[in-house]
Each structure stands twice: as C-alpha cells, then as structure tokens.
A and B are shown apart, each in its own frame.
Chain A
Amino acid sequence: MGDLFTLPVLLGIIYSGIRFATPYLFAAIGETFSQRSGVLNLGVDGMMLMGAYSGFFVAVKTNNLWLGLLAAALTGGLMGLLMAVISVTFQATQGISGIGLHILGLGLSTLLFTTTMGGVGTIGGFPPVRIPLLGEIPYIGDIFFNHNILVYFAFLLVPVSNWILYKTTFGLQVRAVGQSPEAADTLGVSVKGIRYITVTLGGILAGIAGASISIALINVFQENITNGMGFIAVALVYFGAWRPTGVLFGSLLFSFVNALQQWVQLKGIPIPAGMAVMLPYILTIVVLAFSSRRISKPAALTKKFERGES
C-alpha cells in the first residue's frame, strides 16, 4: 500500500474533499437554521434536485451562471415556503411532509429535465478563482485557494451563520423558538413567522447546494444527481450538534472519506466497489450512533406549536 499515498495523491484527496464539502455545507447549514427553530425538514434532497435542475436549465438557456444560481435559490426558496405552509400553517407531521417534498422534487426535476432538455448535457461551470498571494503558496495555494466561487461562499457561510445565530436578534429568536416556543410566544415573538423564515432560508440554501453540483462542481444534470446528499446533510446537522462549526467539521469529514473512497476505487484496490461506496455512509451511522447530543438538540424539534395548547 506504500505507493498508494504519494504526496500528489494526498493533495488530490484533500483538494477534492474541500471541494465536495460545498453542497453539504450549503444544505446542512440551511437545515441547521430550520431545525434550530424546531422544524425538521427531510425534503432537503428534493429541494437540492430542484435547485440543481433549475440552475442548470437557466444557466444553459441564458448562458449566465449567476442567473442560474439565482433561479436555483428561488426554486429552493419556493420549495421551502411550501414546506413551511404544510408543516407550520397546516401543522402536518414534519417528517412525513418532508418526505413528500423530497419525492415531489425528485419526480418534478426528472420530468422537467426530460421534457425541457432531453438527454444528459454538460455546461462550463463556475471556473476556479485563484486568490492573489495566498494562491501562490506552494501546495497550500493549490489545495485551499484555487476553487470556484461557490466553494468559497460555502465556507464563508459558516462564520456568517454563526454570527447570525449567536449575535443577532433574529438568531436569538430562532434559538428560543426551537427550544421553548411558548416562552417566545409570551414575549411577543412570532413563532410561526420565525419558522417560515428559517424553513424558507433552508430551502434557498438547499437550492444553492443543488446548483453547486450542477453548475460548479460536476457541471452536468441527470436524474437524481444528488444521490441522497440531502439526507446526509440532515444527518450532518445532528452530527454537528446544531452548530455551524460542527456542521463544517462533519461536512469535511464526510467529504474526505468520500474522496478517499473514490481514490481507492480508481486505483482498482481489491475492495468490492459497493463496500467502498458504503464507507462514508457507514461512518455517518457510526458517528451518529455514538454521539449523544441530547443536550444541544432543540427541545421543540418536530413539535407543532399552537397558542394555548400545553
């Protein structure tokens, strides 16, 4: 196994690990906001698919990647809004309505793709941007500072969302609504209003996560291109203990193991392909099983809220 991990290989794995953490970061941080306010959105994957499709479609048709990104954000936001209507206003069971949205996104994106675009196509996605000075550092520059713009955005999202959650009035309201909605309500905080905002925001970020796959990382669209990434993102929120920094750590870990696994396959190492693909997922399950996060879990997660019931 000695020649397996040469320096270029290691660098390649790190590079790709960072790169492919992008969709997880967008989706999982959006989901963090949603769950912090007490709504479990299991429809992330469907929202990502819709984002991936609409971003790809608009970018191809207009030849403008930014318009594609905007379309993805809007589509995701609409899906999030729909989730909020179903689970906050109509108080449907959150887990079930999320799965419904996933199926809707999966079906609709496939249908729209085959009717509007036909077969698989590719697109020239967001190009890598080498950051001046930092990008010149040997090795480091290549690995960390030569990515496309969405990768930078994803990592920037971590401190930004940390700041929003812990340093703003909105963030305080989100945390309170997810822990004790009754208490927030008696202080005149609109529990449902906050949940609408966070769930919609989660949808927008899921849409962007999808677009990051179709117009920035892989630059193709095909049926079910996310392949369950949205569900992994939900798991990463638990893994990250509902904190953006925890989510960052989880996304990177997951993405690195995934990159490693791909490398193992590429080298034709005699491990059954199925086993290798399963590796990151097994890791997720193991980590989730052993991390007891009951203390930080939003106490009102998945609970409906109606004034006067208690």
Chain B
Amino acid sequence: MSKLLSNGQPQIGEVRAVGIVKRFPGVLANDHVDFDVKAGEIHALLGENGAGKSTLMRQLYGLYQPDEGKILIDGVEHRFHSPKDAIRAGIGMIHQHFMLVPELTVVENVALGLKSSRGFVLDLDVVEKRVCALAEQYGLKIDPKASVWQLAVGEQQRVEIIKALYRGAAVLILDEPTAVLTPQEVDDLFVTLRQMAAEGHALVFISHKLHEVLAISDRVTVLRDGRVVGKRPTQGATKEELAQMMVGRPVILQYDMPPLQCGDTLLKIEDLFVQGDRGVDAVAGLSLELHAGEILGLAGVSGNGQRELAQALTGLRPVRKGRVLLHDKDVTNASPSERMALGLSYIPEERMKEGAIRDFSVADNIILQDHHKPPYVRSIFFDFKAIKNDAKRLVEAFNVKTPTLDTPIKNLSGGNIQKLIMGRELWRRPSVLIAAQPTRGVDIGASEYIHQQLLGQRNGATTVESSVVQRRTPTQAGMEMREMLEGRREQCLATLLISEDLDEIRALSDRIAVIYEGKIVGIVDRNEATVEQLGLMMAGVRKEEALGLKKSGDHSEKEPS
C-alpha cells in the first residue's frame, strides 16, 4: 500500500487522462488531450482563456463526462459520473470562481454534503476540530467560525483548500488560483502548494501568468484551442518561449514608452473623502492630478479605496467631502452621464456588473450609453441598420472575437468582453479614461492588446491603426477608424490606470501613485522605484523612507516583469 498523506489519505501515484475529447455545441473544447500528474509534483497547465483548461479539469473532477478518451488513476480506469465519484477517488478541485456559500460559516462550508457522525444531526464540533488540525498541519490560517462572506479572498481560498483536503484529496487541481489574489497572498499560497507537493500530493496548477508558472511548477503543459501544443520540464523554460506556445505567435512582454508630450491638468481630485459600503471612509483625504497624455498608475493592495475612488470619479458613488474637477469644471456631484458628456470614460473593475449586461447581445452592449441618440434612433424607433453597422466596425477595429453580433455577451470570453468594453469606451473619444483592473482575469493575448491600446491612446493611437490598416485593405471601417484616430492624436488622452498588478502598473505608467488606506502615500516616476520599494509603499511606508532604504545600491530593475 502507498504511503499516507497528512490528511490521512493514501497517496495517488499518477492520474492520467488519455485522448480526451470534449465537444460543446459549436466548440471542440478538448481535442485528443493527453495529460498526467504525478505524486510530489506541481504540474502547470498553461493556456489562454478558452483554451480548454477548465473543461479538461472538470472532466477529471466528474463535472463533465468526456466524449472520448479515458481517465486512469494508478493505471486503473475510472469513470466519474459526478464530483462525488471523483472526490471518493481522492481528487479535489478548487474552482476559478470559488464554490463557497457566503452565508455559511467556514465549518458549515466544509461539512456541506458530508455524512455526519451523528446521522441526521450535524456534528459541526467534530468537523471544526478536524478543520483546525488540518489548518495546523498545512499552515493554513483560518477562523473556523467566521462566515465566509466576511473573509478576504485569500482566506476564502484557504477554506477551499481545506475543504478539498478534508474530503481526502490526494490530487488537488487549482483552477487559476492566483487570479484574484494580491502578491502577498500568492506568496502564501505558493508556500502551501510547495509543502503539499513535498508531502506527496499531486498538484495541477492552472494559470496564464507566466512568471507564476515558472516560479511554482515542475512541469508545464500548454493548451491552445483545445489541443496540447507543448509539454516540458519547467526548468530552463523562458517566458518568451511559453508565451509563444500559448498564443501561437511571438508576444510583446515589454512596451516602448515614448516620452510625454502633452501636459494640461484634465482631472483634479482635491482632498476627497468617499464612504465605503460599511459606512467608513474608504477614500480619506486623497488628492491627485491627472495630465493630458499621461498614464498615471494607481498601485495598491486590494481594498485600500481603489474601487470607491473609481466609483466616485465616475459618479457611481457619492462624495462625502472634497472636490473633483474635470476640465476645470466642478463635477463632484455630477451624474455619470454629465461626466461622460465632458469626456470621461470608464472601464470598470466588475465588467459584468458595471460594464456590460450579461444577457444583452454584443451589439446592444455596444450602444448601451448612446442607445437613445442618433444615429441609433430615428424619431422614436431604433435604426437597427445603423446599430449593426457601428457594432460591426467596433468589433472589427478592436479585434473582438464573437460568433455574431447577436450573441449574448455572457458567451464571450473575459478577454473579448474586456476588448469590447474598452473599444466602446475609446470609441466615444474620451479625454479622460479611468481604467480599473483592465486586464484582471484576461488572457495574455488580450492583455497585450489592451495594454497596447492604452499606450497607443497615450500619444496618438498607433496600434489600433496598424491593426486595422495592416490587416485589411482600407475598407470603409478602416478609413473611418483612421479619421477618428487622427482626431484623437491632438487630444492626448489622460489615463488613470488602477491595478493591483504591479507588473502591469510598471509596464504602462508614466507616473505611479501608491494608495494606502484611502490616501496617496507617494508618487514616483516611472523608473524611480524598485518593485520592493513600491511594495513597501503599498504597505503604507512613506515615499522618502521607502526610497531612502535601498537607494544606495540602486539596482532598480529595468525589466518590468
């Protein structure tokens, strides 16, 4: 018999999927995929959104059944009809969107679906003891009595891991576990994962973040369009190589930043106070100036007032004190549409809540803000031809992949939804753009595209232009797009880039402002501070102190990675 793991389960030597084929209506999600993971290793599954990673893993977990192919555990074929079967076989999965019931406590979430030692009556005290023991063994700090909705994202993830371990997982599949974590939480997670692997668990780590894959995994398998396009040991792999495998073409991981040209102050925030959901000031005395032509990155750990600031700037949340000036006009209490009329655009953090309507079609989402104006309405009727026309142009210009214009937007991948929202916002020719987490949960290809767009807007749009003009003969759409961009060149968009991804901030920003507890701790120029120094500022250390610490050596990394 194989050795026992810390959660009392026998080790599983190897899980192997052979020739897996899975079709969805109109999509071949997995095309003869071979995949295996062994005890003691962390196997990274890399691929863009829509590559078929989740689908493959959902079959190992019994949520879907493969159309062809088989699943072997230690050489024995298994058929899973539901997750229950997979759990029984020792496989656990942590889903991309956490599968927790927010209203229940940690212990209740763990106990859910399990047999109780007292039959019909819950044995939460027994469960709690074991949860605490597991938490201790695996170094997962957690308050078992807290309700899940009160927990931070990182803590919720620990609950998910404990849930899987409690159910006897020897194999653990983590579907994009870092997508929602802060850098510190990612570090903590990695410590746990390494410990679990060292113990003899087999781990599958799904991601599309290259540096994470390089940092944590022993082997990498790359999926593209449902097929395995590469498989290799992580040792010796480079980012460029993996990115190229994943996207199918060379990818730009660093951007050129031409120097700033414009400079008027377009957005001015004066001593702003904004209340959060719990009634305390989430933004507390924040001042900031945004100039034409620049990208100002707002860095900070999640929950330091970024969301409330973005909502206050766009008119979605009331301001308690202070002023917001847009083009020298006081818009502190203006409605979102008044601000839009003044040239403000917003790419919201929660794209499905604030940026788009799930069940509306692509075309309807595109005209969301302007649906009541010409050319989309004539007298009181929609002009569907004009709508289709513009929607088609936008979809082409911004490279949105969608089957049709009538497809409900919820059927698009995250990256394509984001490209559509960004396209819609830029199409309005804004002078000030608030971009909140524009690439969160978006794959590399789309991220690269979005980054290039943001940079392009900064100093005359070169990238959009090239994508339209190079690939197509100058269609009418291309010509009009070009005219539109010529117009913007004089305009010089000012962008406030709010992101928790320091790499993104460092790659794109002209200046970086660090927010902590609702205030700006300091503003640094593009290459003025190292990652470590920024990290210190994100923890609340003042700029002078943070920079003073390491300034002597001055080995500020040039590479934004």
Contacts and interface: CB of A to CB of B under 8 A. Distances in A.
A187 B122 contact: no
Contacts, number: 72
The secondary structure that dominates the A interface is helix
Contacts of A171: 122
B121 A167 contact: yes
B445 to A, nearest CB: 24
A179 B122 contact: no
Contacts of B113: 173, 176, 184, 187-189
B83 A186 contact: yes
Interface string A171-209: 111011001101111111100000000000000000000
A170 interface: yes
Interface string B92-135: 01010111111110001101111110001110000000000000
A189 B113 CA distance: 5
B477 to A, nearest CB: 35
Contact of A184 (B101, B102, B103, B114): B101
B: contact size bracket: 20 to 34
Given A179-B101, A183-B101, A172 B121 contact: no
Contacts of A184: 101, 112-113
A184 B108 CA distance: 12
A170 B114 CA distance: 10
Contacts of B115: 169
Given A168-B122, A172-B112, A187 B83 contact: yes
Given A175-B103, A182-B99, A186-B63, A169 B83 contact: no
B206 to A, nearest CB: 16
A173 B64 contact: no
A272 interface: no
Interface in A292-307: 299, 307
B82 interface: yes
B366 to A, nearest CB: 24
B87 to A, nearest CB: 6
B120 A176 contact: no
A: contact size bracket: 20 to 34
A176 B108 CA distance: 9
A27 B95 CA distance: 38
A183 B100 CA distance: 6
Contacts of B98: 183
Contacts of B120: 168-170
Contacts of A172: 104, 108, 111-112, 122
Central interface residue in B87, B115, B120, by most chain A CB within 10 Å: B120
A95 B413 CA distance: 32
A308 interface: yes
Nearest to B93: A186
Contact of B83 (A176, A188, A299): A188
Contact of B116 (A169, A180, A182, A308): A169
B116 A179 contact: no
A306 B61 CA distance: 17
Contacts of B211: none
Nearest to B98: A183
A85 to B, nearest CB: 21
B84 interface: yes
B104 A175 contact: yes
Given A168-B122, A186-B83, A176 B101 contact: yes
A188 B113 CA distance: 6
Interface of A: 167-173, 175-176, 179-180, 182-189, 299, 307-308, 310
The 6 closest A-B pairs by CB, nearest first: A188-B84, A187-B113, A183-B99, A189-B113, A186-B99, A176-B101
30 contacts: A167-B122, A169-B111, A169-B114, A169-B116, A169-B120, A169-B121, A169-B122, A170-B120, A172-B108, A172-B111, A175-B103, A175-B104, A176-B112, A179-B102, A179-B103, A180-B100, A180-B102, A183-B101, A184-B113, A185-B83, A186-B83, A186-B93, A186-B99, A187-B112, A187-B113, A188-B84, A189-B112, A189-B113, A307-B63, A308-B63
Given A169-B114, A169-B116, A172-B111, 10 more contacts: A167-B121, A167-B122, A172-B112, A183-B99, A183-B100, A186-B99, A188-B83, A188-B84, A188-B113, A307-B63
